[in-house]
Amino acid sequence: MDVLSSLMDGFATALTPMNLLYALIGVILGTAVGVLPGIGPAMTVALLLPVATVLEPTSAFIMFAGIYYGGMFGGSTTSILLNTPGESSSVITAIEGNLMAKAGKAAQALATAAIGSFVAGAIGTSLLVVFAPIVVQFAVSLGAPSYFAIMVLALLAVTAVLGSSKLRGFASLGLGLAIGLVGLDFVSGQARLTFGLPLLSDGLDVVVIAVAIFAVGEALWVAAHLRRTPLQIIPVGRPWMGKEDWKRSWKPWLRGTAFGFPFGALPAGGAEIPTFLSYVTEKRLSKHPEEFGKGAIEGVAGPEAANNAAAAGTLTPMLALGLPTNATAAVMLAAFTQFGIQPGPLLFQNEGPLVWALIASLFIGNFLLLLVNLPLAPVWAKLLQLPRPYLYAGILFFATLGAYSVNLQAFDLMLLLVLGALGFMMRRYGLPVLPLILGVILGPRLEKQLRQALQLSAGDVSGLWSEPIAVVVYVIVALVLLWPLAARLWRARRPRTGGLVVADGPAVDGPAGPAAAPSVEAPAVEGRPVDGSAAEAPADRGPDAGRHRADAHANHGQEKS
Amino acid sequence: MTSLASRLKGRSELGVAALLGAVGALVLIDAARLVVPYSQSDPVGPKTLPIIVGGLLLVCAVLLAVNVLRGGRGEAEAGEDVDLTHPSDWKTVLPLAGAFIANILLIDWAGWVISGTVLFWGSVWALGSRHYVRDGLISLALALLTFYGFYLGLGIALPAGLLEGIL
Amino acid sequence: MRGMSALRVAAVAAGIALMASGCGATGKTAAGPSTSGASTAPLAGLRIMVPNTPGGGYDTTARAAAKVLEDEKLATNPEVFNLAGAGGTVGLARIVNEKGNGDLAMLMGLGVVGASYTNKSESKLTDTTPLARLIEEPGAIMVSKDSPYKTIDDLVTAWKKDPSKVSVGGGSSAGGPDHLLPMQLAGAVGIDAKKVNFVSYDGGGDLLPAIIGNKLGFAASGAGEYIQQIKSGDIRVLATSGENRLEGVDAPTLKESKIDLVFSNWRGIVAPPGISDADRDALIATLEKMHESASWKETLKTRGWTDAFVTGDEFKSFLTDQDKRVADVLTKLGLA
C-alpha cells in the first residue's frame, strides 16, 4: 500500500543516527519543559526556531515533534510527584496521580502514565496515518453550535465531581467561573474584572491557576500543619506495575485514547476536556469507585492516555490541512514557513518525504520517551523521600520559575501568591478544587461558543441545533439527565424490597455518583428529596446530623487536589 | 445558648461565605458597567454570564452561611504530611509566604540568582530545616543552574539584577 | 534529585548552545563604538521588543530582522525579547516609559493601534518615535468553495440587503486588523458599521475551519496564511484590498471592483519617545541598510512578505493617519 511504503521510507530517514540524536534531544528537552509549569512545548519550539533554521528541515521537525510529545510526558511527572501540573492537559492527572504518590504508589502512577501515554501516542499516530483525510473532514464540519453542545455535556459531567458537599462544589465552580471571566470580552472587547490592570486583560492562565491552587496552596497548607513528629516512612513500594495494575489500566488507556484523539483533532477541542471526560468516565465505570479520592490508578491511566492521544490528534489537521488546533501546532506551522515550506492541504504532495519522516519520528519519539521514562519511574519516585522542607521549597521554587519565565513579569508571581492563598483557604474549609479548575476552563469556552453560535445564526436560537453533531450531543445530554429518572420509575414498578426502593434510585444516578452511597441513610431519618443533586437539604436536620454526614464523607469523593 | 455557641464555633467558615458573597457582588457590580453594543447579533451579550455567575456565588454564599450556622462543616484536607490536631501554625506559614514575597520584590532589581536563593533558603528555613550553610549553598546552586540553563537552553534571560555583567 | 533535571537541560542545551551565543549571559559583549555619532558603525546593544508571544507574527518578523542585522554586521548581538499582553499595549506602555533609551525598539503593527483603543491604553503609538515601516499585507475577502457567492458583487448585494444575515469572520477581536477591514468595507459600500455581524476568532488557525466549513458569510483576513488552501481550492478569494492584485491569487482588487477602499495590515518598528536625533538617525540608517541588503530581500521572498519600506517622517504621518482611521471606526462602534 502506498501509505505503508511511504511510512517505511519515512522510518528509513528518521532512523539515521543524526536524526535519532535530534529525536533524543527533542524528547529530553520536551520532557524538561513539560515538567515546568508555564513554559511548554509551544514556547520552546518558538524559542528554538531561530536556532533550528540552520538544521535540515527534517531534523528540525523531528526535534520539534520530540519536544511536543515529550512535553506531554514531562507534565505528568510533576503532576504526579509534586502536584504541580506542567501542562494544562496534566491538571486532571494531578488529582489521582498525586494521591497515588502520597499513598506510596508513585512508581505505579508514573508507569501507568508512561505506558498509557505510549499506547495512546502509538494508536493516535497510527490513526493519523490512516485516517487523516476523514478526520479532517469531520473536524471541519463542526461549528460553534456543536462545540457549545459538547461544552454543555462537559458541564453536566462537572456535576459528577462536585464532591460530597454539593453546595461547596457549586461554590467552587462559581469561583472558577468568576476567575474565568477575568479579561477582555471576546466579542465586544470590553474589560471584565480587570480593575484597570492591563496585565489582566488577557485573563488568567489555567496552568498558573492550577499550579497556584494545587502546588502553592499545598505548600502553604503543609506549612501550617507540618507534622513535626517523625513519621513512619511509607515505603515507596514495588517499583513496577503489578498484574492488578495492568488489569485495571488497559481499558482506561484505550478509552482515554478514544476521548483524546477526536478532541485533539477538533479545532476548538483542546486537550483538557478529554482528560476530564476520561476521568469522569473512569470514575463511573470503575470497579473500585471508593478509591477515587485516594489514588485510583484508572484516574491516571485514562487522562494520561487522553492527553497524548490529543497531541497526536492535533497533528492530524495540522499536517493534512495546515490547520493548527493548538499553540504548539501553530508554532510548528510557523516553523514550516520559516523553512520556506508552505503548510496546507498540499503538504503531503509537495513535501511527502519530510512529512512521512516526521510521522515516523513521532513513533520513534514516543518509543524513546517510554524507554527513557519507564525505568526512571522508580528513581523519580524516590524524589518523594526528600525531607519535607526541601520537597516543598523545591515545589515553590519551580512553580515560581515556571510562572515567571513565561512573561518575565513579577505580577504573575503575585497571582501565584493570591491564588495560593485561595488554595490554602479551600483546603482548610473543604472546598473541592476540581470544580474550580473546570469552571476556569469551561466557562469562557461555553460563553464563547454560545455567543458565536448565535452570531452565526443572526440571533436565531434554532441555530443551536442546526448541526448534526450538536443534535447528537444534546440527545446524549438528555439521556444522561433522564436516565436516573427512568431507572427510578422502572424500579418503582417492580415489587418493593423494603426500604431499599428509595435508596436504589440515586444509586444509578449518573452524575451524582459518590453522593449516592450515603443516601441509604436517608429513608431512616425522613423523606428528604432523593434527587442526589439537591442542595444541602440535610442541613435542616440540625448540627448533629450535619456532622454525621460530613464524617461519612470524610474519605468519599471529596475531591482532593 | 447552644445556637450562640455553635454560631461562634462555625465563625471562621463564615469567612468563606463572606468571600463568596464579596466575589459575587464584585462580579455583579463589574458587569453593571458593561455596554452591550451588538444586541441584534449577540443577544447573549457580555453581561449574561457575569450576572449568572454573580448570582450563583451570592446564592452559594447565603446557603453556605446557613449551612455553617446550622453546624455543617467543610472537611479540612488531610494528608501524610499534615497533622490536623493542632490549629494552623502561623509561625511556619508566614515566613514561608514571606520568602515568596521576598522573591517577588527582589526578582526584578536584585536578579533571579539572588531572589531565587532567598526564596529557596527562606522556604527550607521556614519549613524547619536548620542546616543554614548547606541550605544556602543548595539554594545558590539551584538559582545559578536554572539561570544559566534557561539562558543557554531556551534563550530566556532571567533578570540578572545586581549581578549584571558579572554572570 | 531536582538538580539532575536542571543539569540535564543545561548539558543538552550546551550542545544546542554551540549555535547560540557564548557564556556571556549578561553584560554588553560588543566592543564597537557607541551608537551616537557616525551612522555606519554597527549598533551595539540593540534590543528589539516584541509585544506578543513567541511564534506570533510580530515575533517572527522581529527575529528575522534581527538575524539579517546580525548577518550583515549592522548590529552586534541584537537581542529580541517578548513582552506580551493586552494585544500589545503592555509592550507599548513599556516603550513609552523608556524615554530617551536609544538602544530599544519595538516591532509593532496595525493590531497594536487598534488594541491601544480597545484596551483603553494610556500610551498611544503616536507617543513613540516612528522609525520605519517594514512590510505589509493586503487583506482578502474569502469564502469557502461551497459558498453561494461567486463574485464580490454577489456578496455586497446580499450583504446590503440584510447585513445581519451575512456573518463576517476575522482572526482578531474588535479593534484588530481583521475587524477593521470589514468595518471599513461596510463604510465603503454604505452599510452601517453597527449592523455588521462580526464574529471574532482567535487567530488565523481558529478562523480557518470556519471558512472551510462554510460556517460564515465571508471572512476578512490576510491571505498569506491561507495561500495553500487558496491554491488547493478550499478557499475562494472574492477580492483583495491592496493597491494592486496579490501575486498568485486570481482575484480583483476592491478598487477594480469599484469599491473605494485600500487596506493593508502592516508591521513596523518604533522607538521610545525622547531619544536623541543622533540615535534616531543611526537607527533609521541601520534599518535602511538592512532593507537594501540581499539577505533581507531573500527573507522577504522566503516568507512571502510584501516590502513596504518607509522611514522617518513619512512613516510618522502614516502612523498618525492610521491611528485616526482606527479611532474613527472604533468610536462609531462605541468601542473606543
Report pLDDT for A533. 35
Least confident of A117-121, A318-322, B163-167, C160-164: B163-167
CB A284 within 8 A of CB A88: no
Tell me the average pLDDT of chain A.
79
Give dist(CA A360, CA A368) in Å, integer: 12
Query: Is there a single domain that holds both residue A171 and residue A277?
Result: yes
Query: Is there a single domain that holds both residue A450 and residue A470?
Result: no
Helix (H) or strand (E) holding A28: helix A17-35
Query: Is there a single domain that holds both residue C309 and residue C240?
Result: no
Q: Which residue of A has its CA nearest to C176?
A: A189
**In B, which residues are within 8 Å of A30 by CB distance?**
none
Query: Is there a single domain that holds both residue C127 and residue C151?
Result: no
Report pLDDT for C314. 92
With CA atoms as reference, report the closest residue to C175 among C141, C103, C125. C125
Average pLDDT over residues A276-304: 88
With respect to residue A559, please indicate whether it lies within any of the assigned structural domains.
no
Residue A30, pLDDT > 50, answer yes
DSSP-assigned letters across all residues of A302-369: HHHHHHHHHHHHHHHHHHHHS---SHHHHHHHHHHHHTT---STTHHHHTHHHHHHHHHHHHHHHHHH
Provide the H-helix boundaries in chain C.
2-16, 57-71, 89-97, 110-118, 152-161, 177-189, 204-212, 227-231, 277-292, 294-303, 312-333
With respect to residue A242, please indicate whether it lies within any of the assigned structural domains.
no
Query: Is there a single domain that holds both residue C276 and residue C246?
Result: no
Q: Is C14 on the interface with B (CB under 8 A)?
A: yes
Average pLDDT over residues A405-428: 89
Closest CB to B152 among C14, C27, C81? C14
Report pLDDT for A175. 95
Q: Cα A290–A295–A157 angle (5° rounding)? A: 65
Q: pLDDT (tens digit, 9 = 90+) per residue, C244-287?
A: 888 878 899 999 998 999 999 999 999 999 999 999 999 999 99
Q: Cα C229 to chain center, whole Å?
A: 21
Q: Cα A199 to chain center, whole Å?
A: 26
Query: Is there a single domain that holds both residue A451 and residue A471?
Result: no
Report pLDDT for B79. 64
Cell of residue C139, nine digits: 487583506
**In B, which residues are within 8 Å of C194 by CB distance?**
37-38
Is the model more confident about C327 or about A529?
A: C327
% of chain A beyond a pLDDT of 90: 17
Asked if the interface predicted TM-score (ipTM) of this complex is over 0.95, the answer is no
Report pLDDT for B7. 55
Average pLDDT over residues A172-189: 89
Least confident of B61-75, B119-133, B140-154, C15-29: C15-29
Tell if the CB–CB gap between B26 and A454 is shorter than 8 Å.
no
With respect to residue A469, please indicate whether it lies within any of the assigned structural domains.
yes
Query: Is there a single domain that holds both residue A437 and residue A469?
Result: no
Query: Is there a single domain that holds both residue C105 and residue C79?
Result: yes
Last residue of a domain, one of A456, A491, A518: A456
With CA atoms as reference, report the closest residue to A520 among A533, A542, A541, A504. A504
With respect to residue C222, please indicate whether it lies within any of the assigned structural domains.
yes
Look at chain A and count its residues.
Answer: 561
Is the model more confident about A367 or about A526?
A: A367
Report pLDDT for A159. 83
With respect to residue A243, please indicate whether it lies within any of the assigned structural domains.
no
Cell of residue A385, nine digits: 523521600
Last residue of a domain, one of A456, A474, A501: A456
What DSSP character marks residue B36?
-
Is the model more confident about B123 or about A189?
A: B123
With CA atoms as reference, report the closest residue to C200 among C224, C216, C222. C216
Query: Is there a single domain that holds both residue A505 and residue A438?
Result: no
Query: Is there a single domain that holds both residue C109 and residue C248?
Result: no
Report pLDDT for A510. 39
Q: Which residue of C has its CA nearest to A320?
A: C229
Q: Is A196 on the interface with B (CB under 8 A)?
A: no
Report pLDDT for B20. 93
Report pLDDT for C62. 92
Q: pLDDT (tens digit, 9 = 90+) per residue, B38-49?
A: 666 778 888 899
With respect to residue A232, please indicate whether it lies within any of the assigned structural domains.
no
Tell if the CB–CB gap between C205 and A330 is shorter than 8 Å.
yes
Query: Is there a single domain that holds both residue A274 and residue A419?
Result: yes
Query: Is there a single domain that holds both residue A348 and residue A484?
Result: no
With respect to residue C6, please indicate whether it lies within any of the assigned structural domains.
no
Write out residues 312-371 of A within 8 Å (CB-CB) of B: none
Tell if the CB–CB gap between B153 and C335 is shorter than 8 Å.
no
How confident is residue A302, by pLDDT bands cut at 50, 70 and 90?
Answer: very high
Domain with C192, as residue range(s), is 137-264
Q: Which residue of B has its CA nearest to A410?
A: B104
Average pLDDT over residues A399-422: 88
Q: Cα A421 to chain center, whole Å?
A: 23
Query: Is there a single domain that holds both residue C179 and residue C318?
Result: no
Report pLDDT for A543. 38
Report pLDDT for C82. 84
CATH at C217: 3.40.190.10
Closest CB to C55 among A46, A188, A342? A46
With respect to residue C311, please indicate whether it lies within any of the assigned structural domains.
yes
With CA atoms as reference, report the closest residue to A85 among A35, A156, A152, A141. A35
Cell of residue A38, nine digits: 508555564
What is the CB-side half-sphere exposure of residue A365 using CA atoms within 13 A? 36
pTM of the model: 0.79
Query: Is there a single domain that holds both residue A290 and residue A369?
Result: yes
User: Which chains does chain C touch, 3 or more C-beta pairs < 8 A?
Assistant: A, B
Tell if the CB–CB gap between B37 and C14 is shorter than 8 Å.
no
Give the total number of structural domains in chain C: 2
What SS3 class is residue B109? helix
With respect to residue A518, please indicate whether it lies within any of the assigned structural domains.
yes
Query: Is there a single domain that holds both residue C70 and residue C158?
Result: no
With respect to residue A248, please indicate whether it lies within any of the assigned structural domains.
no
How confident is residue A350, by pLDDT bands cut at 50, 70 and 90?
Answer: confident
**In C, which residues are within 8 Å of A140 by CB distance?**
209, 212-213
CATH at C129: 3.40.190.150
How confident is residue B60, by pLDDT bands cut at 50, 70 and 90?
Answer: very high
With CA atoms as reference, report the closest residue to C76 among C34, C107, C36, C37. C34
How confident is residue B27, by pLDDT bands cut at 50, 70 and 90?
Answer: very high
Last residue of a domain, one of C212, C247, C264: C264
Q: pLDDT (tens digit, 9 = 90+) per residue, A483-513?
A: 778 888 888 777 655 444 444 334 333 344 3
Query: Is there a single domain that holds both residue A520 and residue A417?
Result: no
With respect to residue C112, please indicate whether it lies within any of the assigned structural domains.
yes
Average pLDDT over residues A161-188: 88
With respect to residue C5, please indicate whether it lies within any of the assigned structural domains.
no
How confident is residue A323, by pLDDT bands cut at 50, 70 and 90?
Answer: confident
Query: Is there a single domain that holds both residue A486 and residue A427?
Result: no
Query: Is there a single domain that holds both residue C131 and residue C211?
Result: no
With respect to residue C201, please indicate whether it lies within any of the assigned structural domains.
yes
Q: Is A408 on the interface with C (CB under 8 A)?
A: yes
What SS3 class is residue A549? helix
With respect to residue A268, please indicate whether it lies within any of the assigned structural domains.
yes
- d(CA C231, nearest CA chain B) in Å: 33
Report pLDDT for B8. 56
Give the pLDDT means over successive 10-residue stretches in chain C (336 positions).
42 38 44 43 87 82 90 88 84 90 92 87 88 91 93 93 90 87 92 88 84 91 84 90 85 90 92 92 92 90 84 92 89 78
Last residue of a domain, one of C264, C283, C308: C264
Query: Is there a single domain that holds both residue A408 and residue A487?
Result: no
Query: Is there a single domain that holds both residue C259 and residue C269?
Result: no
Query: Is there a single domain that holds both residue C248 and residue C276?
Result: no
Last residue of a domain, one of A425, A456, A487: A456
Average pLDDT over residues B91-103: 90
How confident is residue B4, by pLDDT bands cut at 50, 70 and 90?
Answer: low
Query: Is there a single domain that holds both residue A439 and residue A306?
Result: yes
Residue A300, pLDDT > 90, answer yes
Q: Is A386 on the interface with C (CB under 8 A)?
A: yes
Average pLDDT over residues A435-445: 90
**In C, which residues are within 8 Å of B151 by CB distance?**
25
Give the total number of structural domains in chain A: 2
Last residue of a domain, one of C264, C294, C311: C264
Query: Is there a single domain that holds both residue C158 and residue C276?
Result: no
With respect to residue C18, please indicate whether it lies within any of the assigned structural domains.
no
Write out residues 392-421 of A within 8 Å (CB-CB) of B: 392-394, 396-397, 400-401, 404-405, 408, 410, 413-414, 416-417, 420-421
Q: Is C83 on the interface with A (CB under 8 A)?
A: yes
With respect to residue C38, please indicate whether it lies within any of the assigned structural domains.
no
Report pLDDT for B81. 66
Query: Is there a single domain that holds both residue C257 and residue C299?
Result: no
Domain with A6, as residue range(s), is 2-226+256-456
